[in-house]
Amino acid sequence: MTAETFSTLLGRIRSRQAHVGVIGLGYVGLPLAVEFAHAGFTVTGFDVDERKAAQINAGKSYIPDVSESDLAACVRARKLEATTDMSRLGAMDAIDICVPTPLRKTKDPDLSYVVLAVEAVAATLKRGQLIILESTTYPGTTEEVVQPMLEAKGLSADVDFLLAFSPERVDPGNQQFTTRNIPKIVGGVGGASTAAAAELYGATVDHVVPVSSTRVAEMVKLLENTFRAVNIGLVNEIALMCNKMDIDVWEVIDAAKTKPFGFMPFYPGPGLGGHCIPIDPFYLSWKARQNGFECRFIELAGHINSAMPAYVVERIADALNAARKPINGSRVHLLGVAYKRDVGDMRESPALDVLELLAKRGATLSYSDPYVSELRHDGHTMTSIDVADALAQRPDCTVICTDHTTFDYEALVASGTLIVDTRNALKGRDAPTIFRL
């Protein structure tokens, strides 16, 4: 890239004249688009879902972490708009790709959304554009998949256009750490790409951390989430062990975390959920296998975590057995089906596995979740019911799968129903009707 072209792009970023495009307007893309708009950039959001585009243009937020007032203000100021017209990507100075990267049923990476997004960018790619991939993926994706697709028409990365990877690190529902104050990792295919991406993010986030390459940046995200997955696997195994030894694992963790060094508390649960932690270790182990390395430690943690829904069902069986009831024919009510507290995200939620396993054993199922009004299960649509109404129908067992803060746990205990608490939501409460993980 000529010094003049590079200088022009940096000048447009610094003066906030750069037009920024964000592809994928979900939990990652929409908050990022709003932050770019807040920083003074003109932002166009791109998505294949016409409903999302229409809601954004009407100032309506469908992401809990994006307040409707903030979104509406950006739209009114004409700093943010949304479209499904990918041909407009050619008018952007910088493009951020924030599309999903799920797993196939074979646990292999599914880059189909990334490929479609890059194809759309390549169709209108011009000299001087900055392209950044944020979608979580395996090390090498930017150089091995994205770069060749963009260079196919004759332009060269870090020479004619700029290309970088910057992993998304959002934590849905976290009010303390948001898009703005989570440090941003940036790695480009060359020095110019890294510098331009760092300049763009530096205008919108509090701290940018440049690294030496796209591969390093890609690996950072996988390390972060694999670290969590492995440690959760460890504490889940400790929970299984403690149950066999009649020890309260929650008391053990509370005592252990008083050590001021050398220990970080992780907590057991019904299984892993969300868009990253259950998936990222598989991206890493898949890529490692391509290089002749077997991730035995990581994959073992995955096996332990994926077995937790079955363990939850066994605890439900224990609770019902104490009341001389079988799972078959019993009415089991789930409190919370989202993957984590106080969000409506159902991706990879362990509650879905618990529902499926209970259904196979003949349970009659219902659920309450203020953030998930309905869900598809076993070919049928289930609708959330009010907790008080559910308890009034006296279910045989109530299972706390997601510990939403809006639930009235005192009323739950007072109802006398059998309770299986997978989240320690009833900490400090003791009753013969309470069964913990």
Name the residues annotated as catalytic: 276
The rounded distance, in Å, linking the Cα atoms of 87 and 213 is 30
The rounded distance, in Å, linking the Cα atoms of 367 and 119 is 41
- Secondary structure of the chain in HEC code, one letter for each residue: CCHHHHHHHHHHHHCCCCEEEEECCCCCHHHHHHHHHHCCCEEEEECCCHHHHHHHHCCCCCCCCCCHHHHHHHHHCCCEEEECCHHHHHHCCEEEECCCCCECCCCCECCHHHHHHHHHHHHHCCCCCEEEECCCCCCCHHHHHHHHHHHCCCCCECCCEEEEECCCCCCCCCCCCCCCCCCEEEEECCHHHHHHHHHHHHCCCCCEEECCCHHHHHHHHHHHHHHHHHHHHHHHHHHHHHHHCCCCHHHHHHHHCCCCCCCCCCCCCCCCCCCCCCCHHHHHHHHHHHCCCCCHHHHHHHHHHHCHHHHHHHHHHHHHHHCCCCCCCCEEEEECCCCCCCCCCCCCCHHHHHHHHHHHCCCEEEEECCCCCEEEECCEEEECCCHHHHHHCCCCEEEECCCCCCCCHHHHHHCCCEEEECCCCCCCCCCCCEEEC
User: What are φ and ψ of residue 208, in 5° steps?
Assistant: -115, 135
Order of strands across the sheet that contains 397-400: 364-368, 331-335, 397-400, 418-421, 434-436
Order of strands across the sheet that contains 130-133: 80-83, 42-46, 19-23, 94-97, 130-133, 162-165, 184-188, 208-210
Burial of 277: CB neighbours in 10 Å, binned 0-12, 13-18, 19+: buried
- Residue 320 has which token pair? 């019902």
The rounded distance, in Å, linking the Cα atoms of 397 and 420 is 7
